[in-house]
Structure 1
Amino acid sequence: MLSRLLSGQQRLIFLTLAIALHVALAIGAGRYVFTFRQAPKTPELDAEVFFIKDEPPPQLAPPLNQPFSPQDAAPVKAVTADKVPATMAAPAAPSAEEWAFATKYTNKNSKGYRHSWGQQVRSMMGTAVEGPDQGEVRFRIEIAPNGTLAQLDTLWSTSALAEKLARKAIQNMPALPPTPTGKPLIFEKTISFSPFASDGPPTYKDDCLPDTPAFKNPFAWDGKSEQVKAQPAPTEPKLDAQAMEECLRQLPKDTLEAEMARDQRIMDQWGSSKTGR
């Protein structure tokens, strides 16, 4: 009987110890889980202190019904321009050799004579200075067979000073040689009075070839007349054998200055270094 009782007490003790052990394990596991799931503490940030300076309020514009006085305007600092305007001296007048060539060259409506005439005018206009007075003027000129001016009309102008100087130069031009063909020479010429443009010597190597017809939009319409598709302009006929021989005989030798002037004009016109031949 005693052995049975002791064994029962032992069972009770073992059961009690087992329950206590399970409770302790459950409590420990709960604390671990609660500690693991707890959000981390946010670190404390250093506080920044700002000081506001006490300044007078900005001056507001006067009301619309109050007249404005010069004293209300804010002071304006004077701006000084340090840039020196660009200049270009007048080119030299055509030499005697250039005029001798111009009086004999009949190709392309006396191309050499027309160029020498424009160079003579520009050489008498003086130095071109960058600014509001720079510009261009285009004339329609008629030269009599003896080289005197028969008619001068202004087609357009972008500078009153350029037109004034050009007309003064034309009135004071020296006596010019007769025209190459012995007939009145009628042409249009643009005189550039600018430090960024110059009328260099032309090239003559393609003067015996027909001119390329200018492009004209065949579908252009003024909105009033009947819509008709414009026909392309006829191409210039080629020279016959005798005329070609005479044309080639008049052609001068190409110069480096003429080629450089041609390339520069193309670059100024198209804004590209591709000259295209």
Structure 2
Amino acid sequence: MPKMQTRLLIAALISLALHALLAAWVIGLQPPSPVEPEAPKPLQLSVADEPAEKPITNTDTNQPARPRPQPPSAKPLQPARKKPTQEFTAASQAAPSSQAPASMAAPPPPTADDWQMAATYTLKNSKRYRYNWGQQVRSMMGTAVEGPQQGYVRFRIEIAPDGKLARIDTLWSTSEQAEKLARQAIAAMPPLPPTPTGQALVFEQTIAFVPFDSGWPPIYKNDCLPDRPAFKNPFVWDGKSPQPDSRVVAQRLAPPEKPAANPDCPSDAQPDSLEAEAADIKRQLDFWGALPLNGVK
């Protein structure tokens, strides 16, 4: 009997301890009660009385009172001067109007020796004959002056075997005045020698009627070299025809054989002039050279 009571007492103590721990844990989980904020205190504004100015009293009766200093007088306003940049801009804008427009005289016509050499030059579709023809036309157009009348004109020309003009068509033109002067010069051209090949000569020519360009002399030293083969895309397909075999494509991609040199290359060709070399180098630099970062040449 005593053992039974002891066990019940121990069980009761354990139960009370567990309930106490559980109650403490539940109380800790509950959020604390919110604290009510204090009501804001009303603001009270009060206007303070300005202190009365005390009169300045002269303690020393023997000395006279000092006069009050007067405020400095305002300086009269002067008109603002223009900045140097504005004056420079105005001067730079007015300067071009007082200057004469740029101009370039017509180049000299080809000489008799030039025409004699061109009459026997068959390379590159009678290259010398074509250049002499364009120079002859430009020499008869007069001085090119900067303005709306300047421009370029491109013709397709057909010259008969006897050197007479057979047909001329205007492909495009940037100046009506340039086209008009060019056609007048073509109509008044002197008799030309026969074509070098003895056949009709068909070519295209651009006439420059501008104050900064009259056409560059061509380079003849590379005319004896064989022409480069024309590029053909081996992978082109119209979408309808059967696709070519891979072996055929491989044959197309193979490097072509180098053509033989032209056997008609003249042995008495004169060297190119310094002007022609310089103009050709400048043309290649303008065409292949990289542009500056700001895009201005």
Q: Per the shorter chain, which TM-score range?
A: 0.5 to 0.7
Alignment of 1:88-127 (within 5 A): 88-127=104-143
> CA-to-partner distance for each residue in 1:113-171, whole Å, 9 max, x for gaps?
00000000000000001111111000000000000000000001111111100000000
Tell me: CA distance 1:79–1:256, structure 2 relative to 1, closer, same or farther (3 Å): closer
Alignment of 1:7-86 (within 5 A): 81-86=97-102
Tell me: CA distance 1:268–1:159, structure 2 relative to 1, closer, same or farther (3 Å): farther
CA distance in 2, matches of 1:227, 1:132: 52
Tell me: CA distance 1:139–1:226, structure 2 relative to 1, closer, same or farther (3 Å): farther
> CA-to-partner distance for each residue in 1:8-63, whole Å, 9 max, x for gaps?
xxxxxxxxxxxxxxxxxxxxxxxxxxxxxxxxxxxxxxxxx99998xxxxxxxxxx
Tell me: CA distance 1:236–1:262, structure 2 relative to 1, closer, same or farther (3 Å): farther
TM-score, scaled relative to structure 1: 0.60
Specify every segment of 5 or more residues in structure 1 that has no aligned partner in the other structure, as ranges: 1-48, 54-77
CA distance in 2, matches of 1:268, 1:211: 23
SS of the counterpart of 2:265?
A: helix
Tell me: CA distance 1:205–1:227, structure 2 relative to 1, closer, same or farther (3 Å): farther
| 2:221 counterpart letter in structure 1 | K
> CA-to-partner distance for each residue in 1:183-242, whole Å, 9 max, x for gaps?
000000000000111212211111111234577889999xxx85999x99x9796235xx
CA distance in 2, matches of 1:185, 1:217: 31
Specify every segment of 5 or more residues in structure 2 that has no aligned partner in the other structure, as ranges: 1-72, 78-92, 244-251, 292-297
Alignment match, 1:62: none
Alignment match, 2:182: 166
**C-alpha RMSD of matched pairs (Å):** 3.9
Q: Does the CA-based 8 Å contact 1:142-1:150 persist in structure 2?
A: yes
CA distance in 1, matches of 2:116, 2:207: 22
CA distance in 2, matches of 1:213, 1:158: 33
SS of the counterpart of 1:202?
A: coil
Q: Does 1:144 align with 2:165?
A: no
CA distance in 2, matches of 1:109, 1:127: 30
Q: 1:199 aligns with which of 215, 218, 232?
A: 215
Alignment match, 2:278: 260
Tell me: CA distance 1:127–1:108, structure 2 relative to 1, closer, same or farther (3 Å): same
CA distance in 1, matches of 2:133, 2:165: 11
Q: Does 1:249 align with 2:270?
A: no
CA distance in 2, matches of 1:160, 1:126: 15
Q: 2:260 aligns with which of 215, 239, 245?
A: 239
> CA-to-partner distance for each residue in 1:73-116, whole Å, 9 max, x for gaps?
xxxxx967123211000000000111111001000000000000
CA distance in 1, matches of 2:100, 2:137: 27
CA distance in 1, matches of 2:210, 2:234: 36
CA distance in 1, matches of 2:196, 2:278: 27
SS of the counterpart of 1:247?
A: coil
SS of the counterpart of 2:154?
A: strand
SS of the counterpart of 1:249?
A: coil
| 1:239 counterpart letter in structure 2 | A
Q: Which has the larger Rg?
A: 2
CA distance in 2, matches of 1:236, 1:131: 51
How many equivalent residue pairs?
A: 195
SS of the counterpart of 1:264?
A: helix
SS of the counterpart of 2:220?
A: coil
| 2:168 counterpart letter in structure 1 | L
Q: Does the CA-based 8 Å contact 1:212-1:235 persist in structure 2?
A: no
SS of the counterpart of 1:166?
A: helix
- Alpha-carbon offset, residue 261 of structure 1: 2.1
| 2:191 counterpart letter in structure 1 | A
Alignment match, 2:200: 184
User: Which region of structure 1 is more displaced relative to structure 2, 211-220 or 168-177?
Assistant: 211-220
